[in-house]
Structure 1
Amino acid sequence: INDVDYRDWSLQALQSNLGVVLQSSHLFAGTIADNIRYGDLPADQDQILVAAKQAGAHDVIIAMPLGYETVIGEGGSSLSAGQKQLISFARALLADPQILIMDEATSSVDTLTEARIEQGLRALLKDRISVIIAHRLSTIRHAHQIVVIDDGRIIEQGNHDELITRRGRYYHLFQQQSLSNLWQQAEPINVEQPDGI
């Protein structure tokens, strides 16, 4: 990892340099600020604000009744999937791990919410080794290296543009998802029926 054999690291060093954002990141009973601070317990309010702004969570948080001091229950059941993910992104940014693993981190949000959290995602991935497990290809579009796995086997490898040019499995999946996203974002059409029909 960055030219250092990870086997030479202690377990504690490895754990402190590893961040994980899951599909359903766990939030704890307490304030929004405390949930972000969990990424770095000694962090002060200014550091929490910087992480939240970088993650794209700040505007969402200040729109809550008490902003960063809004109290949430265990699991954050009063929050939307997108709000939970933004708080999780801010927590991971505050922890500032060298290695980040994201497992389906945007799969529980709709495509419009995903577009809103893209800023946070890009900030989270910047300047660190990232392993992203995703079925939603827009999440990995800007990755330096994409590995397509089918039935446990690597079937394609390259960046987004290379894989699109090859017109293989990735290309077809990307086309399907792009069309699906267009349908989800399309405005409903009102068709007036003539009288008597």
Structure 2
Amino acid sequence: MTPTLRERERKRKRERERERERIEPVTLLLAGEFGIIPSAVEAGPTGTVTHHCLATGQDDEQRFVKTYPQGADARAAEAAVELGAYARLYPVPVPAALPTVGADRFVASCRGLLLSVIRFVSNAVTADERITGALWEAVGQTVGRLPPAACRLHRGSARHPHRSPPSLGARDKAIGLGRNVARLEESAARCRAAVGLRERLHEAEEVLRAHLA
């Protein structure tokens, strides 16, 4: 049965009320814990387990606000944001996390809601649970351009208090290292072939120039 105009209006009203209930504690935390007086807070993209908002302050700067589901582990959320801030020291291109007003933590809580704030990066691309296809190439290019100091990040992360112990999850075990190694070797062979082709073309060009001289 097609909903009537009144039913559709009631549904939209309920959705607006739910959104307002979700936004209100976000506004309180931004003002009370981060010192940000938002002039506008709008829903952003939904993550794998988190909800996101875009908050525009009175300075017209946008911040990316991440809220965690009810019952989320506050220490785990704090550790994740802190690791990102730690990576920036090397420097790894990670958006800057904003500390609370007291600068003693990155994650604030109110009424069971956990919230963190990072600087908004326009046109950012997220992995949506996993990295596939062209995203792997983008990651490789970014890592390849990192300065030498960033190479110390892995050693530093291994000593960091919030490091994760090395382990293989179900998805990691299903990656198929043999297939990935074969693809890597195939890519390397193509690169070597391209280098050889350029060398042969250069030799042919030299021969042609000598013949025309």
Same fold at TM > 0.5: no
Larger radius of gyration between Structure 1 and Structure 2: 2
- Higher normalized contact order (CA 8 Å, seq sep 6+, divided by chain length): 1
